[in-house]
Structure 1
Amino acid sequence: MRKIIGSTSAALAVAVGAALLAPPAAQAAPAYPFADPDPFYAAPADVGARADGDVLASRPVAATGYPTADAWQVKYKSTNSAGAPIAAVTTVLVPRGTPANRPLVSYQPFVNALGLECAPSHQLFTGGLQEAPALNALLARGWAVAVPDHLGPTSAYGAAKLGGRLVLDGVRAAQRLPEAGLGGSPVGLAGYSGGAMATNWAAALAPTYAPELNIVGAAEGGTPVNIGELADRLGGTRSQAFGLGFAAAIGLEREYPTRSPLGDGLNDEGLALRAQMSNMCTDSILGAGAGKSLPDLTNGPGILADPSGRAVMDENSVELYPGVPRTPMFVWHGSADPLVAIGPVQNTVARYCSQGARVQFDVIPGADHGTATMLGAGPAFSYLGDRFAGIPAPSNC
C-alpha cells in the first residue's frame, strides 16, 4: 500500500470537522450532495418494510482492476442515526474458482469525500480508490471482499457510528446474495484511519446489533477513537489539510441536521466554502481548503464548548461507547503519529482488555500516521488469516 494523503490527514479532518459543530438558535439547511444519477442507488418505496441487511437490488459489474474476481454491487437496507430506513450499497468481490463459504473480509477504505461519485462503489472501478492494492492482496489469499460505501447515501463523512452499522448490514447483505456463495462464510473486518473508525464501530456494535454474524477477527490501524479529543487538540489549526476537516463538519451536519446546523456558525466565507465543497472528492477538497483555519470561517469563539456539538462528537467516539467487541482484535498505531494521539487508543484497548476482550496491540516505533498504514497492513492481513484458520488469537493485554 502506497502512502496517500487521505490516510495522513483523516484524523485532522475529523478533528476540525467536529470543532465546527456549533448549533445556535436558528438553523440553516445542511449542504447535501447532488443525487446519484444512477437509479440503482435510489431507495425503493418499501425500504422501511425491509429488515436491516436485506438485499434490495443487486447487479453484476465488470471487475476492472481485479482480474481474478467476479463482482456485484448490492443495494441493501440499513438505518441512519435518526432511526430512519436508508438504502446503502456494498461491492462484493469473489475470487473465481474458490469454494462456497470462503472467508469474507469487509474492508473499509478511508473515504474523505462529500460527493456521491467519490464513494467506493464508484471509485473501485475508475482507478480512484487508492487502497486497491490492499483489496487485490486479500483476493490473492482466496478471500472474498466486501467494500461498503460506509459514509452512506448522503456521504456523511465523519459520522463513524453510522459507518459501523453500514459495515454490519453490508456483511449481512453480502451473505444474503445467493450468487456470491457467502452465506456460511466466516467474517473479518479491516480498515485504517477513517476506515478504522467504521471497523472499530462495527466490532463494538456487533454483539448487540448483529450478534448472528460469525466475525472471527477485526484488524484496524491509526484509529481516531475520540473525536472531541481530536477537536480540542487540532481544531482551528491552519493546515494544507484543513479542507478535509471542513468536509467532515459538512458530513456530520448531514447526519445530524437538527443537532449540528453548521451553517449558522459560519461567516460568509465559510458558507461559500461549504457550498463549493458539497460535491467534491478528496483532491478538490484539499485544494479548496488549503491554508484555511476555523477562525477564518466562523462567526466567533466558544464553538468547542457547545453542549449539543459535544454530544454529537461523543456519540461518534468509540472510546466513549460502553460496548466491547467480542471478536479478537489486532490494533496497530505509529508511535510518532502527530494526528491521532496514541493515548486514547491505549485507553480504549485497556478498557476492552479489562472486560475480557482479546486484543493484540502493536505500536510501530517511529511511524507517523502515513507510514504506519503500510507497515501494519501485512501483519493485519496475516492476523486475519490466522483467525480464519482457527488458530487461537494472541493477546498482549
Structure 2
Amino acid sequence: MRVTLRDSATAILAALALAFSPAITAPTAAAQAQPLMPAPDPDPFYWAPPDLAARANGEILRSRPVDVSRFGNADGWQVAYRSTNSSGHPVAAVTTVLVPRGGVDRPLLSYQAIINALGTRCGPSHTLFNGQLQEAPVVNLALMRGWAIALPDHLGPTSAYGAARLGGQIVLDGIRAVQHLPEARLGHSPVGLAGYSGGGMTSGWAGALAPTYAPELPIVGVAAGGVPANLSELANGLGTAPHPLFGLGFAATLGLEREYPSSIPLASGLTGAGLALRDRIANACSQEIIDAGANHSAAEVSADPAKINEPAVRSIFDQNSLMMFPGVPGHRCTSGTATAISLPPWIRSRRPSADTARPVFRSSSACSPETTARPASRGYRVYSAGSTEGSPVSPRRATAEVGSVTSGARFVAPPLATRRC
C-alpha cells in the first residue's frame, strides 16, 4: 500500500489514541520496558563530539560538500551542528543545504520534509540522494526560483517522530548553522519555513519558537500544511478500530517515548505482539512502517488503557501542541467525529500571523473560516495550508505560499485567493 500525503497527515494523530487504548492481552516483563532507540548512523559525520555540551546552539561541528548535480546548477553541503532536545540536553543534528550557483545572500528556504519514520537512515540527508524523498520536486521548485533550500533531519539523532517541539529547535539551529557556513554565502539571507504533515507541524513550532529561541534569525514567512495543532483534542476523537495506517500512529508514540521516556513509558504497557511490532519497525522508514502495521489496532499492542489520561502523558501532548503555545489563539474546527484546530488571523510584532488551518482527516470539514492574508507589522506570517473543495494542498503549493503570505521580502510567488478550512 502506498501512502498519500493526505493520509500521512492523519497518521501522526492516530498515535495519540491508538497505542494508549484498551488491550485484550497481558503486559510483558518489565525487563523489556525501556524505549528502543534506533541504531546509530554508521557514518561518523553524524556522531556527536565529546565537547558537544560546550558548543553553542547552531554552532557547526563539521561540514562536507555533497554532489547535488541531479538538481541542476547548484552546490550542496551537509552540515552537522549542535542543537538542544526537549529536556535541554545538547544533541548533534544534520541539515543539507543546496544553493544555486552565483549570487550572495539568496533567499533561504528551510523545508521540513515528511519524515514519518523511526530509522536514522530515513532523514533527508539520506533520502535526498537515494530517490526516497517524496518531496524532491520542492527542491527543484526552490532552486528554479533562485532560492537556497535547507532540509534538516528534524527528528534528531534518535528519530523522535512526533516530538514537534524538538523538531522546531533543530530547524532553527540548522538555519543558524547554514547561515554560518562561509561557502554557502547565506549569512544575511531572508529565511522562509515550509513543510507538510509532520514537516508542517515542525515548521509551525519553529515559527512559534523563533522569537525567543532564535530571535536573531531573519524569518519572514512560514507555510505549513496539515498541521496537528492540538494533540489531546485530536486523540480524544479517534477510535480503536484496525486502521491501514496504524503503523505510522504506533511509530509516532514510539518516537515520543524516545524523547520523553519517563513521561511516556510505552514499552511497559505493550503486549508481546506490540513488542514484536516495535522491534520490527524500530529502524524503519515510512513505507516499511505502513506495511508492517497495516490494519492492526491498539487492542493488539497495548495492555494499559488508562495511560492516555495520565497527567504526565497529557502534559507531553500539550508540550507538543502548537495550540497550547502561549499567546496562540484558535477555535475548534470539527471534521466528522474528530476535532482539529483552526487558527484565526494573528498579527503581532515578531510573532506569526496564522491564516487558517485545515482538519487533517479525509472527511469534509464542518467549518470553513475564510481569511485573506494581511501584512504583519514587523512580523512574519504563517499560512497553515488547507484543502480546497476536498483536494489536499500539496507540499509544492504550500512552499509557494512562503512568497504569497510574506511582505517586504525577496520571496516571490503567485498569490492565492481566500483560503478555506
| CA displacement at 1:337 relative to structure 2 | 4.0
Amino acid in the other structure paired with 2:38: P
Of 91, 95, 116, which aligns to 1:90?
A: 95
| CA displacement at 1:334 relative to structure 2 | 5.1
1:373 aligns with 2:394: yes
| 2: CA distance, partners of 1:12 / 1:201 | 18
Alignment deviations for residues 31-73 of structure 1 (CA, whole Å, 9 cap, x no partner)? 1111101000000001100000000000001115312211000
Structure 2 residue aligned with 1:237: 241
| 1:274/1:64 CA distance change after superposition, 3 Å | farther
Of 392, 396, 409, which aligns to 1:388?
A: 409
Structure 1 residue aligned with 2:188: 184
Query: Which stretch of the first structure deviates more once superposed, 62-71 or 110-119?
Result: 62-71
Give the match's secondary structure for 1:161: helix
Of 69, 72, 75, which aligns to 1:70?
A: 75
Maintained 8 Å contact 1:72/1:92:
yes
Alignment deviations for residues 269-290 of structure 1 (CA, whole Å, 9 cap, x no partner)? 0011111110001111001000
Q: Which has the higher helix share?
A: 1
Of 299, 302, 323, which aligns to 1:319?
A: 323
Query: Which stretch of the first structure deviates more once superposed, 380-389 or 130-139?
Result: 380-389
Maintained 8 Å contact 1:105/1:143:
yes
| 2: CA distance, partners of 1:231 / 1:21 | 10
| 1: CA distance, partners of 2:163 / 2:386 | 26
Amino acid in the other structure paired with 1:48: A
| 2: CA distance, partners of 1:307 / 1:328 | 29
Give the match's secondary structure for 1:218: strand
| 2: CA distance, partners of 1:6 / 1:255 | 27
Structure 2 residue aligned with 1:30: 35
Alignment deviations for residues 93-146 of structure 1 (CA, whole Å, 9 cap, x no partner)? 00012x111110100011101111111100011111010001110111111011
Maintained 8 Å contact 2:107/2:190:
yes
| 1:8/1:394 CA distance change after superposition, 3 Å | closer
| 2: CA distance, partners of 1:122 / 1:264 | 32
Structure 1 residue aligned with 2:309: 305
| 2: CA distance, partners of 1:46 / 1:271 | 35
Give the match's secondary structure for 1:228: helix
| 2: CA distance, partners of 1:177 / 1:378 | 24
| CA displacement at 1:377 relative to structure 2 | 3.0
1:56 aligns with 2:61: yes
Structure 2 residue aligned with 1:165: 169
Give the match's secondary structure for 1:5: coil
| 1:362/1:194 CA distance change after superposition, 3 Å | closer
| 1:18/1:336 CA distance change after superposition, 3 Å | closer
1:10 aligns with 2:15: no
1:45 aligns with 2:50: yes
Of 258, 261, 272, which aligns to 1:254?
A: 258
| CA displacement at 1:165 relative to structure 2 | 0.3
Stretches of structure 1 that go unaligned for 5 or more consecutive residues are: none
Alignment deviations for residues 343-392 of structure 1 (CA, whole Å, 9 cap, x no partner)? 7x97xx9xxx9xx9856666543225xx322684365144267552389x
| CA displacement at 1:311 relative to structure 2 | 1.0
| CA displacement at 1:17 relative to structure 2 | 2.0
Alignment deviations for residues 193-222 of structure 1 (CA, whole Å, 9 cap, x no partner)? 111101000010011000000101111111
| 1:128/1:64 CA distance change after superposition, 3 Å | farther
| 2: CA distance, partners of 1:163 / 1:340 | 29
Of 293, 297, 301, which aligns to 1:293?
A: 297
Maintained 8 Å contact 1:190/1:199:
yes
Amino acid in the other structure paired with 1:68: N
Matches within 5 A, 1:202-221: 202-221=206-225
Amino acid in the other structure paired with 1:55: I
Maintained 8 Å contact 2:194/2:399:
no
Structure 2 residue aligned with 1:196: 200
Count of residue pairs the alignment pairs up: 381
Amino acid in the other structure paired with 1:215: I
Stretches of structure 2 that go unaligned for 5 or more consecutive residues are: 22-26, 329-347
Of 347, 362, 372, which aligns to 1:338?
A: 362
Amino acid in the other structure paired with 2:5: S
TM-score (normalised: structure 2): 0.82
| CA displacement at 1:9 relative to structure 2 | 2.9
| 1:66/1:242 CA distance change after superposition, 3 Å | same
Give the match's secondary structure for 1:130: coil
| CA displacement at 1:304 relative to structure 2 | 2.5
| CA displacement at 1:300 relative to structure 2 | 4.0
Amino acid in the other structure paired with 2:290: L
Give the match's secondary structure for 1:110: coil
| 1:362/1:120 CA distance change after superposition, 3 Å | closer
| 1:109/1:6 CA distance change after superposition, 3 Å | farther
| 2: CA distance, partners of 1:359 / 1:152 | 24
Maintained 8 Å contact 1:11/1:230:
no
Amino acid in the other structure paired with 1:157: Y
| 2: CA distance, partners of 1:209 / 1:32 | 27
